[in-house]
């Protein structure tokens, strides 16, 4: 008997030759089923109150904290390059226990949303991080109770007020990233009651307490001591927990669901994509970006190829939308 895939003529020569479909660039292009397009990519951007010039972020080579004017300039560039969306994070000058800068219409994030929306209108999708950690002096994603624990339901009230402020400032999609129970439903109800049923929710449905957020803490000058393990998910927990979070967010009215981080959680991205009937986003976080940048700077990997491969992996796992710090460079130079 001849072994499957071997020539009946014997000699072990294979009949089935997968390499034929890899033989030329044209052949490989023809059979490609995962593609990246600038429209799939969302560029996260940091804007810091009081800055006159953009400031480099040491742990994220190539990424900066923007001033208000450099933010508008980069937003225009991103629109010209066809980038699908912008996700804004604000870094305030002053912080307090309640994160008052978050819902202050004159707080840096809301001011920056207004600047960008005025500059680019509906030409791209403007998104805002909806979380308190950038605005609180203790660095947690919510407000604390008398015992110093993150108070879920009191935090929802703070998020509601932020949501209305961000909607008024011009965000198309709000990104609640604090992992409080019930946040999506609460925000949907508050937006609808406030006459803002037009504003959508990009739910951070599945968000792990990850070491890969390390450089982000620099990017937002984070004040956090301790960790976020009472609200973000345990990396060692089962996928069922992730799917439960997704089901809840869908039932509460999420317009998109996101998994974060990306590359270490490709299995979760796939599992979510298999069940979600809304678009799935994956956030390639600061540490994923830094890992490739520093490895490339050390000559260990080819920067562009490693970056592209990691973004493609997220698309292949089922993410339609990829949040990545390479969005602009990829749109301008790598995707043709
Ligand atoms: C919370 C938030 C974080 C990130 C996005 N939104 C930090 C955290 O949860 O600790 C991380 C993004 C990144 O690392 O690139 N506001």
Is residue 2 over pLDDT 60? no
- The ligand 1 atom nearest the CA atom of 210: 10
Which protein residue has the closest C-alpha to ligand 1 atom 12?
285
**Separation of CA 324 and ligand 1 centre (Å):** 12
Work out the pLDDT band at 98, boundaries 50, 70, 90.
Answer: very high
pLDDT digits (tens, 9 = 90+) for 204-225: 999 999 999 999 999 999 989 8
Task: Tell me if residue 111 falls in helix, strand or coil.
Answer: helix
- The ligand 1 atom nearest the CA atom of 207: 9
**Separation of CA 216 and ligand 1 centre (Å):** 6
Q: Is 316 annotated as belonging to a binding site?
A: no
Q: Is 7 annotated as belonging to a binding site?
A: no
- The ligand 1 atom nearest the CA atom of 89: 16
Which protein residue has the closest C-alpha to ligand 1 atom 11?
213
**Separation of CA 47 and ligand 1 centre (Å):** 14
Q: How far apart are CA 125 and CA 255, in angstroms?
A: 13
pLDDT at 336: 76
**Separation of CA 38 and ligand 1 centre (Å):** 23
Please, where are the H alpha helices in the chain? 25-30, 68-80, 108-120, 152-169, 183-193, 214-219, 239-251, 266-275, 286-297, 303-317, 327-329
Work out the pLDDT band at 10, boundaries 50, 70, 90.
Answer: low
Task: Tell me if residue 200 falls in helix, strand or coil.
Answer: strand
- Of 30, 21, 85, 53, the C-alpha closest to 322 is 85
Q: How far apart are CA 75 and CA 222, in angstroms?
A: 24
Q: Is 20 annotated as belonging to a binding site?
A: no
Q: How far apart are CA 142 and CA 318, in angstroms?
A: 31
- The ligand 1 atom nearest the CA atom of 216: 14
pLDDT digits (tens, 9 = 90+) for 163-212: 999 999 999 999 999 999 999 999 999 999 999 999 999 999 999 999 99
Work out the pLDDT band at 289, boundaries 50, 70, 90.
Answer: very high
- Distance of alpha carbon 241 from its chain centroid, rounded? 20
β-bridge partners, 201: 174
- The ligand 1 atom nearest the CA atom of 325: 15
Set out the domains of the chain in order of their start, with CATH numbers.
36-334 (3.20.20.70)
pLDDT at 8: 64
Taking the model in full, what pTM does it have?
0.96
Q: Which of 99, 133, 314, 327 to mutate to test the pocket of ligand 1 (most atoms within 8 A of CB)?
A: 133
**Separation of CA 134 and ligand 1 centre (Å):** 9
Q: How far apart are CA 188 and CA 307, in angstroms?
A: 35
Q: How far apart are CA 15 and CA 193, in angstroms?
A: 66
Q: Which residues line ligand 1 (CB under 6 A)?
A: 129, 131, 133, 177, 213, 216, 228, 285-286
Q: What is the mean pLDDT of residues 99-115?
A: 98
- The strand ranges marked E within 102-199 are 125-130, 173-176
HSE value, Cβ hemisphere, 13 Å, CA-based, for 132? 30
Which protein residue has the closest C-alpha to ligand 1 atom 14?
213
pLDDT digits (tens, 9 = 90+) for 227-266: 999 999 999 988 999 999 999 999 999 999 999 999 999 9
**Separation of CA 120 and ligand 1 centre (Å):** 25
Residues forming the active site: 207, 260
Token digits for 7? Answer: 């020539």
φ, ψ (nearest 5 deg) of residue 131: -160, 160
Predicted ipTM? Answer: 0.97
Which protein residue has the closest C-alpha to ligand 1 atom 1?
177
Q: What is the mean pLDDT of residues 23-34?
A: 96
Q: Which of 102, 131, 287 to mutate to test the pocket of ligand 1 (most atoms within 8 A of CB)?
A: 131
pLDDT at 143: 97
pLDDT at 93: 97
């Amino acid at each position: 008997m001849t072994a499957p895939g071997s020539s009946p003529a014997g000699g072990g020569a294979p009949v089935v030759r997968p390499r034929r479909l890899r033989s030329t660039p044209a052949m490989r292009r023809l059979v490609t089923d995962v593609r990246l397009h600038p429209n799939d990519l969302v560029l996260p951007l940091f804007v810091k109150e009081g800055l006159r010039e953009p400031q480099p972020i040491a742990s994220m080579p190539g990424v900066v904290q923007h001033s208000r004017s450099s933010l508008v300039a980069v937003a225009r560039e991103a629109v010209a390059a066809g980038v699908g969306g912008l996700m804004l994070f604000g870094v305030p000058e002053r912080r307090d226990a309640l994160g008052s800068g978050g819902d202050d219409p004159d707080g840096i994030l809301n001011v920056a949303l207004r600047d960008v929306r005025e500059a680019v209108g509906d030409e791209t999708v403007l998104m805002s991080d909806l979380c308190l950690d950038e605005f609180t002096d203790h660095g947690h994603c919510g407000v604390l109770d008398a015992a110093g624990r993150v108070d879920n339901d009191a935090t929802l009230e703070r998020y509601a007020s932020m949501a209305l402020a961000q909607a008024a400032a011009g965000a198309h999609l709000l990104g609640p990233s604090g992992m409080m129970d019930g946040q999506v439903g609460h925000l949907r109800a508050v937006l609808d009651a406030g006459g803002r049923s037009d504003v959508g929710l990009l739910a951070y449905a599945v968000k792990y307490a990850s070491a890969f957020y390390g450089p982000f803490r620099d990017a937002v000058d984070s004040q956090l001591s301790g960790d976020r393990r009472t609200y973000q998910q345990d990396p060692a927990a089962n996928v069922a927990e992730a799917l439960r979070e997704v089901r809840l967010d869908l039932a509460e009215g999420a317009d998109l669901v996101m998994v974060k981080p990306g590359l270490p959680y490709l299995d979760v991205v796939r599992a979510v994509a298999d069940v979600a009937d809304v678009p799935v986003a994956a956030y390639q976080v600061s540490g994923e970006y830094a890992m490739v940048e520093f490895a490339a700077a050390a000559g260990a990997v080819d920067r562009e190829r490693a970056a592209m491969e990691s973004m493609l992996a997220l698309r292949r796992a089922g993410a339609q939308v990829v949040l990545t710090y390479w969005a602009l460079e990829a749109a301008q130079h790598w995707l043709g």
